[in-house]
Chains A and B, each alone.
Chain A
Amino acid sequence: MVAGLGEFTLRTGDGFGKPVLDESNGEELMHVQPSVAVVLGNRPVESPGTLYITSRKLIWLSDVDMAKGYAVDFLSISLHAVSRDPEAYSSPCIYTQIEVVEDEDDESDTESTEVLDLSKIREMRLVPSDSSQLDTLFDVFCEGAELNPEPVEDEEEEGESGHNWVFNADQMDVIGGVEEDAEWSISQSPTSVIGHSNGDEGLAQPMLELQINDQRFEDAEEMVHDSETKNH
């Protein structure tokens, strides 16, 4: 699902114009910023191009090389920020972090190989020649991120509570409670009370204590958790 950075070469007007958008699926152009240089990872700055911000993604198209362009979905942009400290980077810019598909030995690959694997680029800087536009760009990026929330993957569970991820602790409580109840009914049914079935009074006593413990801890999630692990 998460695609990271990729190549983008679809231009209108015989390959010299604006990027081709997925308009039939509602993709719209939100902002165009001319004269923006791009820096991928620790690589050198690339010749200026034009930044197109759509309702789905960022598209950067080179002004020099018509076959060159990059795009990244807002879904893959983990973080963006305005970077102004000249000590950290020579020019004021928009700094982005890109979520990539984790790969065990990709660190060495990106450092050493000549062929650039765009999908492993984790950082991208966009350097507009007009640095007064940085705050505007930052806001447009925010807007784009808000237009692209995570797609809901598990419709069924989501429909149940609307936000099932919030209350894991309480859900544990409920599950724990159900399990306890099952144990209760077993221990309370005459046939399963070990102490009585074999006539040994001494064995019935620990069983009774266990029940008391369960009852006492019924409402405290952590303790239920604790006693559950002990029981199993």
Chain B
Amino acid sequence: MLFFSYFKDLVGQEVTVELKNDLAIRGTLHSVDQYLNIKLENTRVVDQDKYPHMLSVRNCFIRGSVVRYVQLPPDGVDVDLLHDAARREARGG
């Protein structure tokens, strides 16, 4: 559940979600659920030439299983905190 609660803390921030079909969508993180399904608002597609149909989209729901990467705002990440939390959870503590 670590990444779920971690992403919940990022709600309202600007992220870029890269899908397994190479589509990258930038937008404001609106919500995330336990399956890491992601809702974005004020979206824009990074590579607009490749996906012209996404131009018209301003908000979207992305299935968690098709997400490859989520690019986070640099100041939205407390690296030390995340590192510690990951270790704790990995060791079952």
Contacts and interface: CB of A to CB of B under 8 A. Distances in A.
A127 interface: no
Interface stretch (A13-21, A61-69, A81-89, A113-121): A81-89
Interface in A30-61: none
B62 interface: yes
B46 interface: no
A104 to B, nearest CB: 15
B50 interface: no
A83 B66 contact: no
A171 B89 CA distance: 12
Given A88-B56, A146-B35, A80 B61 contact: yes
Given A79-B66, A166-B3, A141 B89 contact: no
Contacts of B56: 83-85, 87-89, 95
B57 A82 contact: yes
Interface in A83-115: 83-85, 87-89, 95, 97, 99
Interface string A119-147: 00001000000000000001001100110
A166 B89 contact: yes
Interface residues of A, number: 30
A30 to B, nearest CB: 15
Contacts of A71: none
A85 B64 CA distance: 26
Contacts of A166: 2-3, 86, 89-90
A201 interface: no
Interface of A, helix, strand, loop or mixed by DSSP? mixed
A150 interface: yes
**Residue of B19, B57, B87, B89 contacting most chain A CB atoms (<10 Å):** B57
A42 to B, nearest CB: 9
Interface in B25-42: 33, 35, 37, 39
B55 A85 contact: yes
Contacts of B58: 81-82, 84-85
Given A146-B37, A166-B2, A81 B60 contact: yes
A168 B43 CA distance: 31
Contacts of B89: 166-167
A143 to B, nearest CB: 10
Interface of B: 1-3, 19, 21, 23, 33, 35, 37, 39, 43, 52-66, 86-87, 89-92
17 contacts: A79-B63, A79-B66, A81-B54, A81-B57, A81-B59, A84-B56, A85-B58, A89-B53, A95-B57, A123-B53, A138-B61, A142-B39, A145-B37, A149-B64, A149-B65, A150-B35, A167-B89
Interface of A: 77-85, 87-89, 95, 97, 99, 123, 138, 141-142, 145-146, 149-150, 161, 163, 166-167, 169-171
In order of increasing CB-CB distance, the 5 nearest A-B pairs are A88-B56, A81-B60, A85-B56, A170-B90, A83-B56
